[in-house]
Chain A
Amino acid sequence: MLVAAAVVPAAPLLVPEVAGGSAPVDEVLRSRAREVVAALLTARPERVVVVGTAPATGPVTGTWDWSGLGVPRAPGRSAGPALPLSLGIGDWLLDDAGWTGTRAHHGLARDASPQGCAELGRSLAAGAVRVALLVCGGGSACRTEKAPGHLDPRAEEFDRRAAQALSDADLTGLRALEPDLAEALLADGRGPWQVLAGAAQGVSWQAELCHDEAPYGVAYLVAHWRAQATGRAPAA
């Protein structure tokens, strides 16, 4: 059963050693991400599952590793398999938060269907084990002319819909985000959020959107969901 979820962008600049000297705007994002991960762990999960986009859908093993981004691996750090970037960000945040319990990583192909994502979410949350989801993915990267994907007039509305759905724990709203549009806008959160929507079904949620900014034309949404103690809501 899903007891809590944290939503963070899979932005490499969250990691101080990748960002180098970072701007105050990055510090705020990093603090919010750390806060929601800390909050996730206060829900006493028995297992934390990190989900994020990856070359293929399926469970992945490995650890965070920034050498592909040009940051040398720290001396003494084992040279095990590197996780895909989005899962690595989640893995790093769990290390950063001091989580030593069970963790797993599940990758999602960028073109995973909303239905497939929902089914995956249901299967990750199935059973009696207290599961927490760390959902790594963000909104569009097309909010300004200097954005990685340049300005796309559809980006702001897409991000607004995503932010609203995350803020309201609106599972239908998350499921309605269009894969093709998300892909065109470089929004890597679409699939992972839809996994969350699948995993969160049948439970009442207390949701909070903690951060909604796009300082580099890339929409960073940070949210925290916690299952209401009042018991299970009727299945949607």
Chain B
Amino acid sequence: MVLRFRDKVLPDDQTLVMAIVNRTPDSFFDRGRTFGLGAALDRVDQVVEEGAHVVDIGGVKAAPGQEVTAEQELERVLELVELVRERHPDVVISVDTYRSEVADVVCRAGVDLVNDAWGGTDARTAEVAAAHGAGLVCTHAGGLAPRSRPHRVQYDDVVGHVVDTIVGLAERAVEVGVPRESVLIDPGHDFGKNSRHSLEVTRRLGDLVATGWPVLCALSRKDFIGEVLDLPPDDRLEGTLAATAVSAVLGARMFRAHDVAATVRVLRMVDALAGRRELAVGRRGLA
């Protein structure tokens, strides 16, 4: 199925990359590296150059911490959105927010996709996306409130719970008017899950793919990778790329990534292995 976000149609013959751009002082991996407007813009230029199809701008870190009001969140993301819209008219801009009022303002400024990473905790977000013709990411966060951590969470069947939740959110999004080709589902690795739950979701990603909804995986440098390898976020690149490759083979359509160049290369390789991608250059034994 072709993915379209407003007037932008994404290629359907390659696995896609959503680049993380945090205007936050405290996110777990970049820890404020792109908090400044100039640094954030440079980051956008760089990830577009590296092959990102979507830039996902966020103003509130996922973990608990200093409260960020809606006004403060907008101060962080709105100006960046406006500047990126101007500099990169063709790139899909996504905003990572759980607040419908923030989604509303940034969509007016040209955002194409609302990444509702806390799983529909604000039921109006889908209506806002629909009203602007924007897309929506429908995420499983296990019913947790935004910015809260899982504590001894249990599931009878974690994959079943994920599928039921995000398919429900996706169907509701379409019902309220979000274009069907603009909806992604995201199992929400580590959100409301322990590491075994995230591994199980990854292992059985085919169950999500089988729903027919395009699957976004946001697994970059997350704790479930860290707990497999017993390594801190700085040392989780290989683990991230391994999980990315396996998930791509299982049919994920898009990956939310910190390490855009490396992720793009891994996915090009997987796409070639899967027969979806031609050689960039074919000379070996052919000259």
Interface residues of A, Cβ cutoff 8 Å to B? 10-12, 20-21, 67-71, 85, 141, 145, 147-150, 186
* Also in contact, A70 and B197, with CB within 8 A (given A12-B152, A148-B149): yes
- Residues of chain B within 8 A (CB-CB) of A85 are 152, 154
Sample of 14 more A-B contacts, CB < 8 Å, known A69-B196, A149-B64, A149-B148: A10-B152, A12-B152, A69-B154, A70-B155, A70-B196, A71-B196, A85-B154, A145-B64, A145-B65, A148-B150, A148-B151, A150-B64, A150-B149, A186-B151
Docked pose: A21 CA to B148 CA in angstroms: 26
B266 within 8 A of A: no
Tell me how far the C-beta of B189 lies from the nearest C-beta in chain A, rounded to whole angstroms: 13
* Chain A residue, CB-CB nearest to B156: A68
Q: Mark B149-173, 1 if CB is under 8 A from A, else 0.
A: 1111011101000000000000000
* Chain B residue, CB-CB nearest to A88: B154
**Is the CB–CB distance between B151 and A70 below 8 Å?**
no
Tell me how far the C-beta of A66 lies from the nearest C-beta in chain B, rounded to whole angstroms: 9
- Residues of chain B within 8 A (CB-CB) of A11 are 152
B79 within 8 A of A: no
B230 within 8 A of A: yes
B194 within 8 A of A: yes
Docked pose: A11 CA to B194 CA in angstroms: 14
Q: How many residues of B contact A (CB 8 A)?
A: 19
Would you mind naming 12 contact pairs between A and B with Cβ atoms under 8 Å apart?
A: A12-B152, A67-B156, A69-B196, A70-B158, A70-B194, A71-B196, A85-B154, A145-B64, A147-B149, A148-B151, A149-B64, A149-B151
- Residues of chain B within 8 A (CB-CB) of A141 are 151
* Chain B residue, CB-CB nearest to A12: B152
**Residue from the set A21, A70, A141 with the largest chain B CB neighbour count within 10 Å:** A70
- Residues of chain B within 8 A (CB-CB) of A70 are 155, 158, 194-197, 199-200
Docked pose: A46 CA to B154 CA in angstroms: 33
* Chain B residue, CB-CB nearest to A217: B149
Docked pose: A148 CA to B215 CA in angstroms: 28
- Residues of chain B within 8 A (CB-CB) of A148 are 149-151
**Is the CB–CB distance between A68 and B149 below 8 Å?**
no
* Chain A residue, CB-CB nearest to B199: A70
* Chain A residue, CB-CB nearest to B201: A70
**Residue from the set B65, B150, B155, B196 with the largest chain A CB neighbour count within 10 Å:** B196
- Residues of chain B within 8 A (CB-CB) of A149 are 64, 148-149, 151
Docked pose: A21 CA to B149 CA in angstroms: 22
Docked pose: A147 CA to B64 CA in angstroms: 9
Docked pose: A11 CA to B152 CA in angstroms: 8
**Is the CB–CB distance between A150 and B65 below 8 Å?**
yes
